[in-house]
Amino acid sequence: MTKLKKVSFDVPEKNLKKIDKLAQITLRSRAFILNELIDNYLDELIGFYISSQRLRNTPESEYIPISKAHKLIQQKRDTQPK
């Protein structure tokens, strides 16, 4: 069984209204909605910050924008024998 801890934090009113609307639609509590958001997006947020930190430590000459990386991958696929 997961050990639960109480947390208190400030939420902008507009976000709280969105949470309340979603809670009403889904017939769930605010706590359920917030826990689901955390469960679904925390790992992605961690990955984002780790990636951002790595980019800060990468010389700009070594950084390849994602759009260019996609083009390079496609070019490599196009030149491979079939």
Structure confidence by residue, pLDDT tens digits, 50-74 = 877 776 666 666 666 777 777 777 7
The Cα–Cα gap between 49 and 72 comes to: 25
Phi and psi dihedrals of 44, rounded to 5?
A: -65, -40
What is the model's pLDDT at position 51?
A: 77
pLDDT band at 34 (very low <50, low <70, confident <90, very high): very high
Amino acid at 9: F
Report pLDDT digits (tens) over 7-28.
999 999 999 999 999 999 999 9
Please tell me the pTM assigned to this model.
0.60
- Alpha-carbon span 64 to 28, nearest angstrom: 43
